[in-house]
A and B are shown apart, each in its own frame.
Chain A
Amino acid sequence: MLATRVFSLVGKRALSTSVCLRAHAHGSVVKSDDFALPSYVDRRDYPLPDVAHVKHLSASQKALKEKEKQPWSNLSLDEKVELYRIKFNESFAEMKRGTNEWKTVVGGALFFMGFTALIIIWEKHYVYGPIPHTFDEDWVAKQTKRMLDMKVSPVQGFSAKWDYDKNEWKK
C-alpha cells in the first residue's frame, strides 16, 4: 500500500493497474503494461484520469456500457455504481482515507531518540574526560557571588532576582 503511495507521488503514472486493484477487482484482465501509454491514477489533484480503471470489460460490463447509451433513468442504482467502478478505482473518500502511518513514524522517531540517548550515556562514560574545575560547587558559588556584586542584569535578569537587603534570592 505504501509503495503505491510513493509511486503515485513520483509522477502522474501509477506503477501498474494491478497494484491499484485491491478489493475492487472487477474481472479486468491485467496484461503486461506498456508504460508509454496513458495510465490510470488515483490522485486528488488529477480527478479525471486519462483512461478508465477497467480496461477489458467482461460481457456483462459490455452490456452495461451499451445500456449506458440509453437514458440514464433506466439504470438501477447498482448499475450506476458498477459504471462508476468501471471508470474509477477508488472514490475520493477512499483515496483520501487516513492511515496509521503516523504512529509508525512517531514511534520510530522516538525509538531512535531513545537509542541515541543510550549512545550518549555510553559516550559520557567511556569517551569524555573530566569536566572543567569551573563547574565545582565551590567555584560556582564564588562565581555567583561575584556576578551579584557586579550587578549583572539588574533590571529584569540575574541580579533583579536577588534581594540585596535580606541577602537572599527574592521569593
Chain B
Amino acid sequence: MASSALAKPQMRGLLARRLRIHIVGAVIVALGAATLYKFGVAEPRKKAYADFYRNYDSMKDFEEMRKAGIFQSAK
C-alpha cells in the first residue's frame, strides 16, 4: 500500500463530463464524416458528370451505338 495519502478522486459531475465529451465527439465525427463524403464522393462525382457532358455529342453517341448493332428499332 502507498505510504502517502492518495489524491482525492473526482467525486462530482462525472456523468456531465462524460456526456460533454461524447456529445462533442459525436458532433466532430458527424461533421467529419459529412466533410469526407462531400470532398471524397460528392464533389468528384459532380466533376465527373460535368466533364462528361461538357463536350458530349448525343447524336455521335447514338451513331456509335447503332453501328454496334444494339438497337432493334434503328439498324
Q: Which chain A residues have a beta carbon within 8 Å of chain B's beta carbons? A: 77, 81, 146, 149-151, 154-156, 160, 164
Contacts and interface: CB of A to CB of B under 8 A. Distances in A.
A149 B65 contact: yes
Interface stretch (B12-20, B21-29, B31-39, B44-52): B44-52
B61 A149 contact: no
DSSP majority for the B interface? helix
Interface residues of B, number: 11
B70 A149 contact: yes
A156 B65 contact: no
Interface residues of chain A: helix, strand, loop or mixed (majority): helix
Nearest to A78: B1
Given A149-B68, A154-B52, A160-B48, 5 more contacts: A149-B65, A150-B65, A150-B70, A151-B64, A156-B48
Given A77-B1, A146-B70, A149-B70, A155 B49 contact: yes
B45 to A, nearest CB: 7
B70 A155 contact: no
A160 B69 CA distance: 20
Give 4 nearest A-B pairs by CB, closest first: A149-B68, A155-B52, A149-B70, A156-B48
B18 to A, nearest CB: 14
Contact of A155 (B1, B48, B64, B65): B48
Contacts of A156: 45, 48
A83 to B, nearest CB: 14
Contacts of B52: 154-155
A43 B69 CA distance: 75
16 contacts: A77-B1, A81-B1, A146-B70, A149-B69, A149-B70, A150-B65, A150-B68, A150-B70, A151-B64, A151-B65, A154-B52, A155-B48, A155-B52, A156-B48, A160-B48, A164-B64
